[in-house]
Structure 1
Amino acid sequence: MAPLSKKRRLELGNVDTKLVEIYEDLASEKDEIRLKAAQGLVSQFTPDKNPADDQIQKVLQRLFRGLCSSRKAARIGFSIALTEVLTQIFSSTRDAAQFGLSDALKMWEVQSNATGGESGQEQRDHHFGRLFGAEAIIKSAVLFQPSVPFTEWTKVLDLVFDLAQKKPWIREECGWIIYRCVYDLSARQVDGKFVDAALERLCSHDLARSPEGIAIWLATKDMFPNANFPGKVWKHDDPLDTKERNNLSKIMKESSSGESEGDSKANNAKSSGVWNSKLHFAWDAVLSRASDTSSSKSKHSKSSRLSFVEFWTEAVDNGLFASASSDERKYWGFLLLVRVLNDGTPQQASHVFTKNLVRCLMNQLAVEDRYLNRMAVKASKAIQGRVSKEPGFAAAAVHGLMGTGGAINFDQATKTKTIEKTVAEASQTALQEIVPLFEQLIQRPGTTDDKTAASHRQVLAGLLLAIVRSKASSEDDYQGTMEQILSIFVRFGYFLDSGEGKATPEPALAQSTQELFRNRINSCLNSLIVTRKYAATLPYAVVRQIREAVKSGEHGKFTIVMDDKLQESVKTSFKALKKLSSKEKKGETSGTAAFKLLYSMTILQVYSGDADAVSMLDELEFCYTKFMGDSDTKKGDTSDASDALVEILLSFASKQSQLFRRMSEQVFSAFADQVTENGLESLISILEAKESLAGQQEMFEEQDEDGEEEDGSDDDDDDDDVEMVNAEEVDSDVEVVDADGASDASASDEEEEEEEDEEDAQEVLDFEAKLAAALGTHRADEDLQAAESDSDADMNDDEMEELDAQLVKVFRARREVTSQHKDKKDARENMVNFKNRVLDLVEIFIKKCHSRLLALDLLLPLLRLARRSSVKQIANKATSVLREYTRLCKGTAVPKIEDAEEEQNVWELLRAVHKEAAHSAPPAHASACSQASLLVVKALVAHDKAAIGGVVDAYAETRKAQLCSTKCHVQPAFFSEWNNWCVSASKQLKN
């Protein structure tokens, strides 16, 4: 027997070691380790293992003790194991003499009892041990077996509610256990007495009118509608009854100051006394049951339940977001806002933008260092996230943030782009609500101050423009929305007051605001004409809206004064537009859209008060008759019409507006193949003009005494459609070329700048001299030995008047000099801008017509521009266009020479290119000359292989000049690239 006894002790020792490992793993921070350990422990206590009472006692005691441990994740692991062990042990009938459930509950109560002699942390650990133990016992469902005395359930309830009442910091967790238990009881279909006991204990512990009590009550009302609800707690036994609105709000924000006369102690709102950064689970319980519609009837009682709007307004807006609320309660409010925005129904999410909430959101977003700024930013992102996921929500968001409870300048006040991003994401359905809202706000901006109203209207105009820009390239059809937005700009931009049946804007629109709206039309069209589906239709829609409104008077008085002749020109143009629309419907699209766009934009210029647009209409009529007229109205040669069309496009291109640049490019692209030599010369003349006031006067035929410049820009300064060339940028790009061709600009430009500097210095000296003469004084450095002047002597009235007159003359002369300097600077910017536009047109012509012999006429102007321009950007762009030209002319795609005269002209061009290459210039210019020369060579050789001899002679002459002449600065690359071409072309020439 001795060996047997020894062996048994070894086995028991092994089991103890294994249990120690299991208990250690139950406290692991890794879920998989904890679950594996719990599985290993539970497997030892299945009914088929028939565990002994001492084993059960030991393991339960160890598990209950583990619940009171604060080590790692012990509570979680031990709670899971305890739940399963209790289920395995007590789910089957056991002998009454054995260790029973009552014994287990006593053990739990003893192990988790804090006697008072422990430290504060140890007491907290015991309280949590009781909480987790109660959760494990309830989840195991052993209390709800028929064989278990009902008193055991009530004992557990008492222990849980006692803990919740005595320790407010743990009250929410205690309530959560009972709240989830209600759902478990319903799923198990147990007797209703269990929930009746829970409700009775809830009230007896004075917790019914607490957030936890409300959640438990509502869960019971849903899962057990026939339960025995204690009386005199809630009106109609429903916390969401409309008559409980105020009490519910006070309870949910955990306010204990909301007692009303006659309330019993059990009905007082209980406060936990502890602020938690997490949202209480009771909010979800209430929000999920608040009706989306107003005051719907509850299915559980005769009461009328609070709607979501009523609850949100009372409990959240007037409660958490009240002006007197603490930052902590407002923090909860933001958590609720984010929760509803992320997970709420569309109806709920659309009603969260209440007055106090929006005000608090704006205040917190406005300053980064405010306590709730991060939460406000999170809420703002939640709004944008909801709109991205559900574009139709944009309408509710815009109404809420900008409507009655919000602010039109929400984005400006908060320094965010919340509204702008929201309208950009809006669906077509949402825009059908947003756009009319903006129109109403423009008409009534909610202020009587003119300056504030103008500011609000500017914001609204910017948001309408943002909608257009965001939807311009959309695959969906937003044409109706675009026309509606443009109609708003037309109404408020071109008409002074309201028409019949429409309210007058209050306050009245300022002239600057109307100009802003007109500029926004250009900005909208600038984005729209990029896409072909809107390029011709929407500009036409704008001018048609203006014309119809003028005729009908629906928007009131038209702001633009038009004489009879001008009205007749516009009338004729609209007839042409009508014919173009008919052609477009019939499928005749060749040039139709381009003319329709050009007509529309020209008429729009007329409506904007541009005097030059009137003559352009007549020229346009001539072009239309030649190109698009009926067969009996077309008159043979269209060269004159083509030249006139180029001039019209150049007049648009001269305007500092991106819209007119894009428009001129689109129309020019449609008619580039019909450009004549005269039309191309019009482009070349601009490229060769000086980038100065003299060049501008030459181009626009201005007189010095006029003092006015035709920059063609009628856009407002703040219009983002305007394209300006920064003067500082222009000056910084000036590049001068030295004798070796290394870097630097043309000598003439350098000399001009030096002369200007000298003139400036001389003008300053002249001004000082005149001023000194008028005052009768000397410059300090002119006459140091001069005797003291008697200028300090008193002067009579006549002498003072004479002095004033002299000073006026001196300063007037100074202003004139300053104005001249500004004129020079502006002229330089205008010419640089104009050349940029013309280079864009030249590039289009080259892409469309690089095989035409006429295109060769562009080589020399581009080369000269690359060498002469004092603006690096212009020079680079000229070489880039020429490089693109030579790239396109590959293989058989070279210009075709038809006769001897053309051949002779091309030979002259080759010699001119070589002469241009001899100039001192940057390396880019030398490379461009080489490419241009080889292009001409290709054209000559393609026409006649025998021309190669003359080409060789031309290169030989240039080489000779390089060797013998000090004025020839041909770069080595000019000849190396020629040699490379000879190698590649030799086989072709020998065949």
Structure 2
Amino acid sequence: MANHARKRRREPFNVDVKQVEIYEDLASEQDEIRLKAAQALISQFTPDQNPSDEQIRKVLQRLFRGLCSSRKAARVGFSIALTELLAQIFTTTTPTTRQDSPSEELSITKTLDIWESQSSASGSESGQEQRDHHFGRLFGAEALIKSSVLFQQGAPFDQWVRVLTLVYELAKKKPWIREECGWILYRAVHDLAAHKADVKFVNAILEQLGTADLARTPEGVSIWLAAREMFPQAALPAKVWKYDDPLDAREKTALAKIMKESSAAEEEKGSKSSGVWNSKLHFAWDVVLARVSNAQKSKDKSGASRLTFVDFWTEAVDNGLFASASSEERKYWGFLLFVKILADGPPLQASSVFTKNLVRCLTNQLAVEDRYLHRMAVKAAKSIQTRVSKEPEFAAAAVKGLMGSSGAVNFDQVTKTKTVEKIMAEANRDALQQILPFFESLVANPGTEDSKAAASTRMFLAGLLLSIVRARAASKDTKDKASKEESKEKEEDYQDVLQQILFIFVRFAYFKPLSDDKSAPRPALTEATQELFRSRINSCLNSLIANEKYAAVVPYAVVRKIRDAAKSEEYGKFIIDMGEVIRDSVKTAFKSLKKLSGMENDGVTGVDAFKLLYSMTILQVYNGDSDAVSMLEELEFCYTKILSAGDSKEKKKDKKDKKKKKEKEKESDTQDAGDASDALVEILLSFASKQSQLFRRMSEQVFSAFADQVTANGLESFISILEAKESLAGQQEMFEEQDEEGDEDMMDVDDDDNELDSDVEVDSDVEVIDDDDDDDEDDEEEEEEEEEDAEEMAAFEAKLAAALGTHRADQDLQAESEASDSDADMNDEEMEQLDAALGQVFRARQQVLDKRDEKKDARETMINFKNRVLDLLEIYVKKCHSKLLALDLLLPLLRLARLSSAKHVAGKANALLREYTKLCKGAAIPSLTASESGADHSSAVWELLRSVHKEARHSGPAAHASACSQASLLLVKVLVAHDKTALGQVVDVYADTRKAQLLSMKCHVQPSFFTDWNNWCVSASKQK
């Protein structure tokens, strides 16, 4: 009770609700609310409001106390309001109204008294409350400095010194707040420069910097550099730096230790560490980095050597933060600096940050997800990609930095990322021209003497080069005309780059260095690696020939480079052994290629297609394909008859005599052109038969140019493949000579990146036919195969049991036991006989398995071949659907759709028939009167119609029945368009089919066949 009685009695007072709301809003998390509250508060103390000193004192007291709030937003809001209020109070009044004298109620001195008293921690508070008071003092000092009231005219200088003293004391007393204190003083130098204040204010900062023993700290370096730059006449502390300049090249070691705040730095005189790690970069890094020279070597006015960025980065960051003994926290700072320079640094700086220790740390941290700095390393890697996407020419520096002497050649492999690959996808022409020679040098010298490691690295580099080609080949022109012109220009520029990549492959794929060649690869390339490089050439061309611009030019450049290098021995000895006959064939082919190149602007049809075909065939010769030599001879015949003959006819047009002779020549030329077309079809089928997407694409492009010249014999070549059996017998019939090594050359050897590097195409189901009958047939086939397997296994077990003299386990266990007992008594001779018998049994079993595999491979080969033929026929149908000859495809396609054992082949045949019948409409319907020979083919079409109806009677999938109906109606349109009276005979054909449906159990024609016919009749009668 006594203690309670001694408490001061509270006096009644009125609460200003509006004022309370303003202070509450100053602590709001939202910027807009805080700014409005600050504006409302300041408006109450404008000169026209004529506030009293007491009112001002109270609001200052309240604001200084608010800075000590634990709410972070409160410090920001109250600091803004305080800064503006101080500036308004002490700059908008006359000097006489705010004289700094003891008799005044309010002055700068009294204001500082309020600040010091409100932010003073008595020692009885909790740890958090003390921290809040320290921050309140710091924010108060910042508000006083920003308001500029301390260094305006008439302000007492000793109060400026007072503020500095309190800030420096706080920095020394509490290391965890030292960076913030240093930042305020650093910004104070800028504020003084902006207000053109007297140098004595800066001298006061520098003097206390020395006396506080903080000059050799990151904060001290920042203040030093700012003061020297903005106040050259300032009195810098003596004996702090040996050469009186932290940026002197000779001070780099000391500066590096200070910047990383290491314990070693504390051993230096005057060096202090904050002792607290911060996840954010110290502001001193920005200050120093902005002032180090970007030049290789630099000197100041006095001739002293200046610290360059490269030297500073190497010493302070690479050898400092990323040293092997550095903590994870310091490496984290290093990554922050790396990301910062890549984001904002000039090109020269950004190109210099890929230093040895940094890249090693980046590689290690990226490689393992559970590493402490993995996420930071991922961010660093993405920052490289971001810089390249904004500045494509930076790709060269990035790739060299990651894969050069400071990094790892197989960076992407080690880190399990696609960092380098993505960088190169964004690289422009200039960057690629720097990267490619670098890659070529890495292929020649991977940096290891181990042949296996070198092969792995070379494989990785080959994959990167291929990715560049694919990225550039896939680029498409935009719709905008201006963009088209720009894109065209870029493509022309990239053609040299693409050819340069292929020339690198050529060097290492086809040549063996001479014994005295100093530039020879170390270690030497293995045969497998050279084979890989040849495969990569095919993969590159596979992507490039899809682009019309590169389809004819680049393959020609490749084979010409191989020929020229073989002659000059630029890369060494040509590894392909070619006889005199082969060389002569290749030489003749190059002569034709040269002529074709001269026809480019003459508008001769198929020139580019022939250039592509010649180039790819020559490349096959260089790859050791024996069949390619005979193909060159056939190709020469095609070229002579199709292009040369046509060109010579144009030249003979001016001759007016010997008319009969010209007619005979014309007939002869037509015959020769037909033979040439047939030969060309056989060549294209030879390419299409290979399990390679490259040759499939090439054959399609060439065929597209000559599809309209296909003759009946040429079309029959396609049809014979469609009608061949999908079995070993069908394969033997189709391919007279087996070439077991042809397709293997195209197989990819890179298991880790099969999709990227292989152009071998494996067909997948493109259409599933839902039909019960078809499913039943598949089930029956599977059951038959299972029964056959069971029979073979039973036969094998029986032979094995006979050889052992035992029984199967499920037949006679007792006999087996007796046999086992007798085995123990077998002598050596009997054991040898048993071994021989067992060997014979297992050899027979292996032969059965090999035969089964051979049958399976043959089936897959035939299915793949039919797929390729259907792709070519799709081109033919699109270009020649209105030709009468195209009708010959109807029946083979229908049979294929019904009989093929592969659903996707049957589906593709049906789809092709649908496409064909859709295209044949109106004027595009084949005409019997427009036959090239002038002969009447109506009887053949009638026979074809009856054959289609017979095909419709077979049991098959629903899609097959629909295709038969469409084919039949197409033939009806052809016949009726030729002769209107043919409609009656068509009705008779349909009637015969209907009769067979009613009377024959073997007729399985579907009802939809007649429904479609009825619908067509209704439509035809309306048109009539």
The 3-state SS of whatever aligns with 2:236 is: coil
Q: 1:115 aligns with which of 111, 117, 122?
A: 122
> For residues 682-697 of structure 1, what are the structure 2 equivalents within 5 Å?
682-697=717-732
Match of 2:799 in 1: 770
Residue 744 of structure 1, aligned match among 774, 777, 782: 774
- Give 2:869's aligned residue: 838
Q: What SS class does the counterpart of residue 153 from structure 1 fall into? A: helix
Instruction: Decide which of 587, 608, 622 is 2:623's aligned counterpart.
Output: 608
Contact 1:236 1:302 survives alignment (8 Å)? no
Match of 2:971 among 918, 931, 936: 936
CA positional deviation for 1:985: 2.1
Aligned to 1:626: 641
- What does residue 916 of structure 1 align with? 951
Aligned match of 1:159: 166
423-432 or 39-48, which deviates more: 39-48
Of 895, 915, 918, the residue aligned with 2:926 is 895
Tell me which of 248, 253, 259 is aligned to 1:252: 259
1:567: which partner in 2? Answer: 583
Amino acid at match of 1:629: S
Give the SS at the match of 1:202: helix
| Residues 747-758 of structure 1 mapped to structure 2, 5 A cutoff | 754-758=783-787
Letter in 2 for 1:658: Q
Which residue number in structure 1 is paired with residue 230 of structure 2? 223
Q: Does 1:823 align with 2:825?
A: no
User: Which residue in the other structure is 2:182 paired with?
Assistant: 175
In 2, Cα distance between equivalents of 1:374 and 1:835: 51
TM-score w.r.t. the length of structure 2 is: 0.91
- Structure 2 residue runs of 5 or longer lacking an equivalent are 1-11, 476-486, 650-664
Higher deviation after alignment, 302-311 or 555-564 = 302-311
For the residues of structure 2 that align with 1:194 and 1:736, how far apart are their CA atoms?
Answer: 91
Distance 1:33 1:780, change over 3 A: closer
The 1:894/1:875 distance shift into structure 2, 3 A limit, reads same
Question: Would you say 1:537 and 2:534 are equivalent positions?
Answer: no
Listed one character per residue, the Cα deviations across residues 277-305 of structure 1 (whole Å, up to 9, x for unaligned) are: 11111111111112222231235x54322
Aligned counterparts of 2:619 and 2:742: Cα–Cα separation in 1: 18
Residues 745, 116 of structure 1: alpha-carbon distance in 2 compared, 3 angstrom cutoff:
closer
Which range moves more in the overlay, 776-785 or 874-883? 776-785
Alignment-derived partner of residue 9 in structure 1: none
Contact 2:897/2:960, CA 8 A, preserved across alignment: yes
1:46 and 1:750 map into 2 onto residues whose CA distance is 96
Question: Is this contact kept in 2: 1:745–1:869, CA < 8 A?
Answer: no
What CA distance in whole angstroms lies between the structure 2 residues aligned with 1:120 and 1:259?
Answer: 27
Query: In structure 1, the residue corresponding to 2:823 is in which secondary structure?
Result: coil
| Contact 1:500/1:555, CA 8 A, preserved across alignment | no
> What is the correspondence of 1:406-805 to structure 2 with a 5 Å cutoff?
406-474=407-475, 475=487, 476=490, 477=492, 478-498=494-514, 503-584=519-600, 586-629=601-644, 631=647, 636-637=669-670, 638-702=673-737, 709=740, 712-718=743-749, 720-725=757-762, 742-744=772-774, 754-784=783-813, 786=815, 788-789=818-819, 791-805=822-836
Q: Distance in 1 between the 2:413 and 2:805 partners?
A: 56
Q: Does the alignment pair 1:128 with 2:135?
A: yes
Q: Which amino acid aligns with 2:183?
A: W
Q: Is the 8 A contact 1:653 1:660 kept in 2?
A: yes
Q: How far apart in 1 are the matches of 2:939 and 2:546?
A: 43
Counterpart for residue 293 of structure 2: 291
Which of 209-218 and 814-823 deviates more? 814-823
Q: Percent of aligned positions with the same letter in both sequences?
A: 69
Relative to structure 1, is the Cα distance of residues 302 and 208 closer, same or farther in structure 2, using a 3 angstrom cutoff?
Answer: farther
How far does the alpha carbon of each residue in 1:808-860 deviate from its partner, in whole angstroms, 9 at most, with x for none?
32222222222112211211221121111100000000000000011111111
- The more displaced of 28-37 and 40-49 is 40-49
Q: Which amino acid aligns with 1:424?
A: A
Paired position in structure 2 for 1:36: 36
Cα distance between partner residues in 1 of 2:716 and 2:221: 86
CA deviation digits over 1:342-366, x for unaligned, max 9? 1111111111111111111111111
Deviations 1:175-230 (A, max 9, x none): 11111111121121111111111111111111111111111111122212221111
Give the drift of 1:756.
4.1
Q: 1:851 is aligned with what amino acid?
A: S
CA-CA distance at 1:322 after TM superposition? 1.2
Is the CA contact 1:736–1:743 (under 8 Å) kept in the aligned structure 2? no
Q: Distance in 2 between matches of 1:554 and 1:530?
A: 31
Residue of structure 2 equivalent to 1:957: 992
Cα drift, residue 553 of structure 1: 1.0
Query: Does 2:386 correspond to 1:385?
Result: yes
In 2, Cα distance between equivalents of 1:589 and 1:204: 90
> Are 2:892 and 1:855 equivalent residues in the alignment?
no
CA distance in 1, matches of 2:559, 2:526: 22
The alpha carbon displacement at 1:733 in A equals 8.9
Q: Which is worse superposed, 775-784 or 822-831?
A: 775-784
The alignment yields a C-alpha RMSD, in angstroms, of 2.2
How do 1:5-404 and structure 2 match up within 5 A? 16-71=16-71, 73-91=73-91, 92=93, 93-95=95-97, 96=99, 97-98=103-104, 99-258=106-265, 263-264=268-269, 267-268=270-271, 270-298=272-300, 302-404=303-405
Alpha-carbon shift at residue 422 of structure 1 (Å):
0.7
Q: Which amino acid aligns with 2:892?
A: P
| Structure 1: tracts of 5 or more residues without a match | 1-11
CA distance in 1: counterparts of 2:391 and 2:741, whole angstroms? 50
Tell whether the 8 Å contact from 2:893 to 2:913 is kept in structure 1 after alignment: yes
Q: CA deviation at 1:753?
A: 5.4
Contact conserved, 1:746 with 1:868, CA < 8 A, in 2?
A: no
Cα distance change of structure 1 residues 554 and 109 upon mapping to structure 2, 3 Å threshold = same
Partner Cα separation in structure 1 for residue 838 and residue 997 of structure 2:
60
Q: TM-score, normalised by structure 1?
A: 0.93
| Total equivalences in the alignment | 959
Aligned residue in 2 for 1:883 = 914
Change (3 A) 1:145 1:632: closer
CA separation in 1, counterparts of 2:66 and 2:768? 82
Is the partner of 1:892 in helix, strand or coil? helix
Deviation at 1:36, TM superposition (A): 1.2
Structure-2 change in CA distance of 1:127 and 1:955 (3 Å):
same
Residues 900 and 501 of structure 1: is their aligned pair in 2 closer, same or farther, counting only changes over 3 Å?
Answer: closer
Partners of 2:987 and 2:536 in 1: how far apart?
59
SS in 2 for 1:73: helix
Q: Secondary structure at the match of 1:975?
A: helix
- Report the AA paired with residue 826 of structure 1: D
Distance 1:685 1:206, change over 3 A: same
> What is the alpha-carbon distance in structure 2 between the residues aligned to residue 174 and residue 620 of structure 1?
84
Residue type matched to 1:644 in 2? A
**Could you list the per-position Cα deviations for residues 250-298 of structure 1 after superposition, in whole angstroms to 9, with x for gaps in the alignment?**
11111132356xx53xx22x11111111111111111111222223123
Moved more, 664-673 or 53-62: 53-62
Moved more, 438-447 or 247-256: 247-256
Asked if 1 retains the 8 angstrom alpha-carbon contact of 2:281 and 2:336, the reply is yes
Q: Name 1:6's counterpart in structure 2.
A: none
Give me the whole-angstrom Cα distance separating, in 2, the residues matched to 1:16 and 1:734: 82
Q: Secondary structure at the match of 1:352?
A: coil
